[in-house]
Amino acid sequence: MDILEPSMLLDEELYSRQLYVLGPLAMQRIQTAKVLLSGLQGLGAEIAKNLVLMGVGSLTLHDPHPTCWSDLAAQFFLSEKDLEKNRADASQKCLAQLNEAVQVFVHTGDITEDLLLNFQVVVLTASNLEEQLKVGTLCHKHGVCFLVADTRGLVGQLFCDFGENFTVQDPTEAEPLTAAIQDISQKPLDIALLQPQVVAQNHQQAHRAHLLHQVFRALHKFQNLHGRLPRPWDPVDAKIVVGLAQSLEPLKGQEEEPLDEALLRTIALSSAGGLSPMAAILGAIAAQEVLKAISRKFMPVDQWLYFDALDCLPEDCLPNPEDCAPRGCRYDGQIAVFGAGFQEKLSLQRYFLVGAGAIGCELLKDFALVGLGAGGCGGVTVADMDHIERSNLSRQFLFRTQDVGRPKAEVAAAAAQKLNPDLRVTSLTQPLDPTTEHIYGENFFSHVDGVVAALDSFPARHYVATRCTHYLKPLLEAGTQGTRGSASVFIPHVTEVYSGPASASEDAPHPVCTGRHFPSTAEHTLQWARNEFEELFRLSAETINCYQQASTSLADMDRPQTLTLLQVVLGVLRVHPQTWQDCVVWALGQWQLCFHYGIIQLLRHFPPDKMLEDGTPFWSGSKHCPHPLEFDTNQDMHLLYVLAAANLYAQMHGIPGSPDQTALRELLKVLPQPDPQHLVSTFASSLELTWASTEFGPELLKELQEALEVWGKGPPLKPLMFQKDDSNFHMDFVTAAANLRCQNYRIPPVNCSQSKRIVGQIIPAIATTTAAVAGLLGLELYKVVYGTRPLGAFRHSYLYLAENNFMRWVPSPPTTQSFNCLKWTCWDRLKVPAGQPERTLESLLAHLQEQYGLRVRMLLYGPALLYSARWSSQKQAQHLSLRVTELVQRVTGQVPGPGLQVLVLELSCEGEEDKTAFPPLHYELCDKPATAPPLGSMEICLKTLHLERTADTQ
């Protein structure tokens, strides 16, 4: 496949994560696209925000209506000061600030046929059916892609008509396909449903989709007849809507079936509301469909998509009309669905958000809009140790250009508070990891009602999840990769716990020998180039500095360290460089060593015609026979390697470098070529030592020792820590080295953008997926805050926007385990109350046997045996009489600090399967005052309290 380099007009730094998802060709199309968006309530604001962040060429806003109180529950560009102002006018300035490269206009007149001809895509939100049919017909006539999106309370719909001749050029990075989509003026033939119960049969899913389609038609008819939406939870209005839905003709091609009257009524009762999470989900999907229409990348939705989140409503106690009546406040849209009582409960919540990146910013926006922690003693704490980079601006909409370099948590917290001045938000910049448990300990978590994790690594997610399990806190967790996203909820004693991997499921690194001598893919060459960077510019400096400072003997150094020194100190330049020209000489010699003489030497060991014992050619299959390159200053990649390598070498030695390619090209023309014999012998020694098992010979060690003495007279070197920035020559070196290696082995090369993603382990990201998963978490937040809800109320979610794959399912319950008569789940713990005076080890063991039927046979800390039931009576007595804190202090060296109230010990059973996870043992140190909050816990892993089953005999 040909590699398309982005246009010079494309801001690769800003859109770097998005480029990995869409590619340069799609981005170029997006940059020149013109979109008309009608309707600037919450859903319209979400669509607009996503399109502007992702760099659409121009966006024209249209909305003839003034701002009202109910808009503020989901429209984050508006505030109380915008009441009665035109929604489009009031939103334009804030939208334009998101991305200065996007032109944002406002159209104040009607939507006419002539107007539509100026756009490639037209989107209607919050529009009536008559307008949808009119505009849809005109768009279809002129080949303008047309979308309708709407939300009513906890249900939403999306319609796409891109025309019969619309061609998808890259549906799933496979062969192009053609999708013909029907005109909206026709009866729908296919209805796609985002259905909460993935276990439901297809017939049930289709029937529910048909019902949702009919209820939207009935709501349009009600609004046309009465000039308003149904009143919140008004049984009279709901009855009218049900009757209108039942009177409609069945859908074309569908058998007439009775509609679920109870479901129709519930939708009608809650349809007046506007919710931030629903707007986020439908707005993200709709914006992605706009991008599909523009870029012709990924398969569009086939006509209709319906989504409902009616599982958010409690089954036992539905709201009443009085509780849901408008209050003239910013939460009226949400109160219309859940009631004022629930709104008060939301305001008193105390939540901890871990991560203020893309998902974290979307969540903070949702928290501000729903009023989470916006009253009384409520509040939100956000923690993130990172600082804002320019690449964050294309998907983290709380940040602006002037915020680059500032702490994410601080900027995000301040921006969220501007969205809702009542939001009580605190920012922390300390990381959440084992080193900060004195900050994020029991005293911290005891003041938290729930935790939301918006993290980009599995180890971090795993750690936060273990903290939530330890402190019995609900955990809401989300992640994305490109157009894929997931949102999960974990509730103490109700659901399973988080079980994601503790580390990323990356492929294992390629063998060193493969990357160094027998690459067959661009990934091999990139790994080799990345290793070259580490060896040449970091490990070599660290090793030499260590040798100088410690005066270490070569005999005391391990083989890899000595090999590193050999390659650097006995390499191209055997003395400290003094000038920029010295650095260029070194870089040129390194080029010759890697891509010319080194390849020649490799072919002497393994000639092109070498055969294996079975008669198979050595250079066959995945082994590509290499060929040496000839250095040419007119070859851009040759020059880039020398430029980057020389600058990095200069940085390491504290010498001023130079980015001037023209001057470098002239300098290279007059420099002498490196000594071939010296380069070959250096490479040969390295090659032999890489493969051989013998030790270094005395002559080589002596030569190395003498060279180190010369190096030791110079200043310490500066090790370079690899960074994936575009301005420090790090990625230039890796890209050039990898592509030259590709030329050696005739492997298709990769461009700088692809190299940066692979080498930097960058997760592709896009604003639409981020917004969608944040919205899905917002729905689960409603359920968690509500209080006691059964397992069946909660949903894990997965979406794949590129292929319109959406799933939601009920989480699994926690697994019950047993030992003797004891039964428990991962949420349970054993408790040993404090004794007066403090318990001895004997008292602790007696309590475990009496209370839980657990008899301890051995107690160990690491390899040390602290207690054994088989010891002599005298030795047992000595240990059993020790107080528990004395024992802990003796074996761990840790002294329980003042105010510490709980020691946490781990249990295991000798001979049990590894999957048996015993509940932790919480040993209380003192009686807790009734009025005092818990001050903290100390986790001591006494590995292990060895238990025995009751039936066992000693």
Q: How many CB atoms lie within 10 A of CB 481?
A: 15
> What whole-number distance in Å separates Cα of residue 128 and Cα of residue 499?
46
| Tokens representing residue 425 in the block | 């938000």
> What whole-number distance in Å separates Cα of residue 858 and Cα of residue 861?
10
Edge-to-edge strand order for the sheet containing 350-354?
Answer: 425-428, 379-383, 350-354, 450-453, 475-481, 484-490, 796-800, 805-809
The dihedral of CA 613, 615, 618, 622: what is its sign?
Answer: negative
* Distance set, CA 795 to CA 195, 196, 312, 689, 747 (Å): 11, 8, 10, 57, 46
* 870, 907 contact by CB (below 8 A): no
* 946, 868 contact by CB (below 8 A): no
Instruction: Tell whether omega for the bond before 401 is within 30 degrees of 0, i.e. cis.
Output: no
Alpha-carbon dihedral angle through residues 428, 433, 435, 437, given to the nearest 10 degrees: 70
Strand duo 805-809 + 796-800: pairing: antiparallel
User: Which amino acid would we find at residue 873?
Assistant: S
| Tokens representing residue 730 in the block | 């790090």
CA atoms within 13 A on the CB side of 575: 6
Farthest-apart Cα atoms in the chain, separation: 100
Angle separating helix axes 580-592 and 676-691, nearest 10 degrees:
60
| Tokens representing residue 168 in the block | 């998808």
| Tokens representing residue 744 in the block | 């050696």
Residue listed under structure tokens 């894990």: 796
| Tokens representing residue 786 in the block | 């509500």
The residue among 726, 755, 723, 732 whose CA lies nearest residue 538 is: 723
Exposure b/e, 463-478, CB count within 10 A at least 16 = b = bbbebbbbbebbbbbb
Check if 941 is active-site.
no
- Select which of 317, 377, 468, 513 is catalytic: 513
Classify residue 497 by its DSSP letter: P
User: Which amino acid would we find at residue 524?
Assistant: H
Q: Is 797 helix (H, G, I), strand (E, B) or coil?
A: strand
> What whole-number distance in Å separates Cα of residue 467 and Cα of residue 433?
10
| Tokens representing residue 725 in the block | 């920035």
Q: How many CB atoms lie within 10 A of CB 219?
A: 24
Contacts of 308 (CB under 8 A, 6+ apart): 154, 155, 156, 194, 196, 208, 212, 267
> What whole-number distance in Å separates Cα of residue 652 and Cα of residue 186?
69
Angle separating helix axes 767-786 and 358-370, nearest 10 degrees:
40
How far does CA 603 lie from the centroid of its chain? 45
Q: How many CB atoms lie within 10 A of CB 826?
A: 17
Q: Which residues pair with 150 in a beta bridge?
A: 157
Q: Is 420 helix (H, G, I), strand (E, B) or coil?
A: coil
> What whole-number distance in Å separates Cα of residue 825 and Cα of residue 28?
53
* Distance set, CA 411 to CA 399, 439, 770 (Å): 7, 21, 19
> What whole-number distance in Å separates Cα of residue 734 and Cα of residue 731?
5
Q: How many CB atoms lie within 10 A of CB 128?
A: 12
> What whole-number distance in Å separates Cα of residue 484 and Cα of residue 488?
14
By annotation, the residues acting in catalysis are 513
